[in-house]
């Protein structure tokens, strides 16, 4: 049984200060101004058109949380800030932090959402700010490149020839799967507004000849195929239960006999309290999507059973489940 929180830890949970300090510094692009050279608070304030005294308070706080250093009156980036928070750097994650900042106001409406059961938003920020969405996809692609090949290998898809990456975003998984399995070809299906990013990442990977793009709304439009494998990665939590159940059933008709549907998402356990990160993420989804939710693993597996799949199993706890379309004569 996990230990109980101390009073100090309870207080710490209520302190959002450091989060907003970081997000504000990223939004102001403070770290880029300090790239390669130290500056005084007055110099940074002049560059930003900001109040020198107020900015000095922000910079001092960034020193305290170990993102800047201070020598005399001169501020400089730490190595982690240089690597991840300087814009245009190859490992910049600021766009993802700017997404969090764009969602900040929605969190202020959490009490309303809890009382009414309704989200305060009618559109995801990717729809209201497509440029931010494209930048976030690029960051997520870079992060996902580390885990995609491992997932592909664990699934043992050596016999598969065709794959659909449904809601595939930047094509991260399609690229990883094609790199692991040289005989595999893939189709990335996503909204037309997303596919320019996908096209760029596929070209960068040199896989234009093996990965096709298909634009549309996967809940409404035909998906093509049939395919040997369909992957749904991190899309279920943006939709309601009935829509997800219908989509899982729809995919069944786009699979070859013996084909596999693989669902990767942030699932909760039976109690709804674990993993801890996902339990908190479920609240994030409540306030930042119109109809989304985090689902239990058992719910996704039931959608597969109801949709006619067999050999339904959980491959990775609270993360990956799969089902198989029966072969001819199999039930």
Could you tell me the CATH number of the domain that includes residue 193? 3.40.50.150
Q: How many domains does the chain have?
A: 2
70 occurs within a structural domain: yes
Q: What is the pLDDT along the chain (331 residues), one digit of tens a residue?
A: 678 888 888 888 888 899 999 999 999 999 999 998 999 999 999 999 999 999 999 999 999 999 999 999 999 999 999 999 999 888 899 998 998 888 898 899 999 999 999 888 887 777 777 777 777 777 787 777 777 888 899 999 989 999 999 999 989 999 999 999 999 999 999 999 889 999 999 999 999 999 999 999 999 999 998 999 999 999 999 999 999 999 999 999 999 999 999 999 999 999 999 999 999 999 999 999 988 999 999 999 999 999 999 999 999 999 999 999 998 766 6
215 occurs within a structural domain: yes
Q: Which of the listed residues 89, 121, 150 is the one where a domain comes to its end?
A: 89
**Secondary structure of residue 263 in the 3-state scheme:** strand
Domain co-membership, 150 together with 276: yes
Domain co-membership, 301 together with 158: yes
d(CA 153, CA 77): 38
255 occurs within a structural domain: yes
Domain co-membership, 174 together with 57: no
Domain co-membership, 80 together with 203: no
pLDDT score of 137: 79
pLDDT score of 268: 96
Structure tokens at 111: 């009490």
pLDDT score of 263: 97
pLDDT score of 88: 87
- Whose structure tokens read 């000095």? 56
26 occurs within a structural domain: yes
Domain co-membership, 262 together with 171: yes
Domain co-membership, 223 together with 306: yes
Domain co-membership, 68 together with 217: no
What torsion, rounded to 10 degrees, do the Cα atoms 185, 159, 168, 233 define? 180
Domain co-membership, 73 together with 144: no
Domain co-membership, 146 together with 285: yes
Range(s) of the domain holding residue 167: 139-324
97 occurs within a structural domain: no
pTM of the model: 0.89
111 occurs within a structural domain: no
117 occurs within a structural domain: no
100 occurs within a structural domain: no
Domain co-membership, 261 together with 159: yes
Q: Which of the listed residues 57, 74, 89 is the one where a domain comes to its end?
A: 89
Domain co-membership, 160 together with 28: no
CATH number of the domain enclosing 22 = 1.10.10.10
Helix, strand, coil percentages (3-state) for the chain, rounded to 5, are: 45, 15, 35
How many beta carbons lie within 10 A of that of residue 280, not counting itself? 10
Domain co-membership, 161 together with 55: no
């Amino acid at each position: 049984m996990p230990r109980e929180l101390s009073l100090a830890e309870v207080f710490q949970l209520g302190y959002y200060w450091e989060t907003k300090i970081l997000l504000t510094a990223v939004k102001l692009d403070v770290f880029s101004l300090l790239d390669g050279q130290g500056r005084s608070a007055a110099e940074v304030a002049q560059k930003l058109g900001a109040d020198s005294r107020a900015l000095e308070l922000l910079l001092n706080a960034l020193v305290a949380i170990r993102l800047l250093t201070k020598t005399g009156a001169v501020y400089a980036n730490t190595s982690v800030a240089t690597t991840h928070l300087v814009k245009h750097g190859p490992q910049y994650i600021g766009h993802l932090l700017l997404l969090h900042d764009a969602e900040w106001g929605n969190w202020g409406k959490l009490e309303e959402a809890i009382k009414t059961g309704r989200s305060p938003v009618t559109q995801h920020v990717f729809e209201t700010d497509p440029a931010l969405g494209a930048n976030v996809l690029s960051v997520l692609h870079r992060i996902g490149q580390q885990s995609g090949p491992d997932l592909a290998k664990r699934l043992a898809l050596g016999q598969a020839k065709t794959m659909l990456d449904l809601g595939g975003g930047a094509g991260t998984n399609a690229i990883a799967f094609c790199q692991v399995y040289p005989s595999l070809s893939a189709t990335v299906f996503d909204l037309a507004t997303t596919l320019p990013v996908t096209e760029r990442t596929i070209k960068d990977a040199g896989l234009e000849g093996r990965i096709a793009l298909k634009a549309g709304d996967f809940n409404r439009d035909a998906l093509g195929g049939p395919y040997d494998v369909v992957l749904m990665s991190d899309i279920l939590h943006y939709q309601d239960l009935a829509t997800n159940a219908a989509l899982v059933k729809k995919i069944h008709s786009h699979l070859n006999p013996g084909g596999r549907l693989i669902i990767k998402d942030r699932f909760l356990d039976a109690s709804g309290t674990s993993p801890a990160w996902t339990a908190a993420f479920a609240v994030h989804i409540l306030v930042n999507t119109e109809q989304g939710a985090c689902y239990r693993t058992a719910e996704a597996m039931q959608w597969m059973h109801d949709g006619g799949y067999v050999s339904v199993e959980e491959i990775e706890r609270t993360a990956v489940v799969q089902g198989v379309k029966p072969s001819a004569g199999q039930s």
